[in-house]
Structure 1
Amino acid sequence: MTCPDTSFPGPAPEQETLFAAAAADYDRYRPGVPAAAVELLADALRGRRLAPVLLDLGTGTGQVPRALLPAVPGLAHIEAADVSRQMLEQARDALTPVLGRCTLRLVHASADAYAPLPGDEAPAPDLVTCCRSFHWMDGPAVLAVADRVASPDAAVAIMGGGSLWTHEAAWTRALRELIQHYLGPKRRAGTGAAYSEPRRSYEEDLAASAWSDVAEHRIPVVRTWAPKNVIGYVRSTSFAGPELFGQRHAAFEAEARTLLDAHASGGSLTENAVFTILLARRPGGAQ
């Protein structure tokens, strides 16, 4: 079952539209959460209480709650927040059929504006997650929000596995160079600006926050991509979404498919990635 949706003021127009057109491709082509990472997150919830609660900030299409629902059968409630209404609608479609007795509230808000409903009697979250999203956020403000709303023994998980823009392989380098040929040398972040790296590392943000007890977990992941799925993935990104190419998008995709087919071995492309989880707690909290 689902709970009523909530919207907070705060998402800037450029934030809200960054992935709006990509929701369906994001859901279909973005890699999910690796099984070993799901088990680690499930362990963080086990033993907290009989009916644990998840808060997923920057939920996108709901990949984290979708992975945790079968791994944590007693999961009682999910709060899923994102700046994009289209992403939240995609998350609703994906999560509703698998919720069972778990309740869901979709929250249209930037992560630093998230708050429980006034008078809400739902338990505080036992796990706060940010998957492939923390780099878009005001890190210190988001960690302060987590400290205000989370249960005393809660954990925060900041995680991700890089992207095909940053992955170093012959085929990803060639693809990146093709994108730069069309869009210029700087990595784009939607139509409005170039991408800027966070000013501080995630570890520095955590060390300066209430969540300074941090354990890093690095999970090797080998992904096999079909060239057509790489094209779908690229379509879902902020650095090479269709809107960036205008009328040249069809030409780019045709050239990209030819390039990827040439690099494919046996019809597939290999990505050797590392999925990193920073699992953080307040000092002195339960482990």
Structure 2
Amino acid sequence: MFPIKTCSVVESLFSVAVISEVGDGTRTLFWKDRWLHGKSIKEIAPLVYDKVPKRKANTRLVSDALAGLRWTADIEGALSFRARTEYYALFELIEAVVLQPDRPDVHIWKLSSSGQYMAQSAYAALFQGATLFEPAERVWKSWDPGNCHFFMWLVQHNRCWTADRLAKRGLSHPVRCPLCDQHDETINHLLIPCVFSRQFWFQILSRVGLQELAPQPEDLDLEDWWRVRSSQVVQQHRKGFNSLVILGAWSLWKHRNRCVFDGASPSLPAVLLAAKEETTWWCLAGAKGLPSLQPLGPAE
């Protein structure tokens, strides 16, 4: 019925969301679609269905199956007593089916009032109860290298190996934030409230005239700050701003790692230079939004 390859979850959704009304039987799968009194053969006779090879279940149409009782030849192997009971009941139901050559099959989408398939209803059913990853659009739709996409995903899920996470697992960790040496280290502290990081954000945003958007002492959460500040940038430059935020966070993380693993000392000029060089490489690689930030102010 649907000539596309789907994952098992999507296939399961369609199997329960669609009911088929058979006319000529040329557009309905005999073994898999819900065409027999609103049910599939798998629901009516599961033990019989288990004896049908997948290649036949995925291709046998109702019109073919009923011609000369071909469906009975699809069943391979001996049937148990319970399976034979299902088989006889199934046989009686199928024997009563009469095809209508002048009427095409009709497939009814149960998730919409019209009975017509709607992508919105399928999406809502498929992701019902799913946890929304709120910053997904800013992370995945901004231009940045794949490793930075993954890094920002780790940041948003608190999966970076900062001191707090290392301590929980009894692993060696910095006593204080390696950049400011004033507070316990968490990924959120490292990227926003840290006094070193706040200076970095002010400087890097000043380069593009967006210093007013730099984190303030009351900004304690990266996601909250990023969401609010991104909305304050005019639409045509928002992707560039989001790329710059990711680049800045990535630069701070790499500088932190040099301090922890290479014994380097925190240096604002060094991390700003590294971020400048990174910006050049990103622009050359395709970050079209970054050059458009030269220079801008926040949206009115």
Higher strand share: 1
- TM-score by shorter chain over 0.5: no
Q: Which has the higher contact order (CA 8 A, sep 6+)?
A: 1
Higher helix share: 2
TM-score, normalization: structure 2? 0.20
Between Structure 1 and Structure 2, whose CA radius of gyration is higher?
2
